[in-house]
Amino acid sequence: MAETIAPIANDLAVKSRSVRRTIVEMAHRAHCGHVGSALSTVDILSVLYHSFLRIDPTQPQWADRDRFILSKGHGCTALYATLAQRGFFPVAELETFLRDGTLFAGHPSARHVPGVELSTGSLGHGINVGIGMALAGKRGEKNYRTVVLVSDGECDEGSTWEAALTAGFWKLNKLIVIVDYNKIQSFGRVADIMELEPFAAKWTTFNWHVQEINGHDHAEIARALSKATEETQRPSVIIAHTIKGKGVSFMEDTVDWHYWPPSDDQKAKAFSELCD
């Protein structure tokens, strides 16, 4: 397996850098924030969309497609850039991001953007809807998988843990939750606002199959997803340890880039670090 993962990982590294450049460009052009939140998810999305999810960009509503939900909708620039790269729509369309009349709002809309399964932004809802999708698939004897990417901050919310309890009870083995555990939320560090540890133990207690990984290692992400598909009795959670603002040195591991947009000089510096 290592022999096949290595070239895939090398290709995904190139794709991830491209997506990161697009994120910075979109945020700069639209003068919007949430850059750090988007950058921390890029490697996860690259693996999902280029080597895991069973999807067809020419048929976004294909009945047997895998479902992906970006519960942390404020990080939507990463999803938009990845969907464009995957061929759901032209990359050039992202130039309209946040303009009047655009399809690409500050939170993703399932009504307007091909490939977006759920309109998100109100945190704590993604897993709940994902459970509904997974349960429908289980009862309908479908083979599609449901993947939900959540933030660590929304794991402060009771709705997240109600969902976790429910999915474990119903043994939704085709449900995979990935936690973007960058350890920073909107106004500070997760440990200072609402400590989640022992995080993995909580999910285990709720009858989930649990893995902890480096959320920026493409090969490790791919292996964890593959292992999750082998589970037959429990839903799976992948706790992905990530870095907020990953890929741009001055944005990494700081709360500042949850809201700040990049200036002209900051965009240029970011691009100099993200060149191939």
* DSSP conformation letters of 37-103: HHHTTHHHHHHIIIII----TT-TT-TTPPEEEESSGGGHHHHHHHHHHHTSS-GGGGGGTTSTT-S
Q: How far apart are CA 245 and CA 273, in angstroms?
A: 13
* Averaged pLDDT for residues 41-69: 97
Residue 7: what pLDDT?
Answer: 54
Percent of the chain with pLDDT over 70: 96
Token readout for 160 is: 């997240």
Structural domains present in the chain: 2-273 (3.40.50.970)
Is pLDDT above 60 for 5? no
Average pLDDT over residues 224-247: 98
Span 110-132, average pLDDT: 94
pTM reported for the whole predicted model: 0.95
Instruction: Assign 41 a pLDDT band (cuts: 50, 70, 90).
Output: very high
Region 67-91 average pLDDT: 97
CA distances from residue 206 to 38, 161, 179, 181 in whole angstroms, order as listed: 28, 9, 15, 19
Joined tokens for residue 260: 């700040």
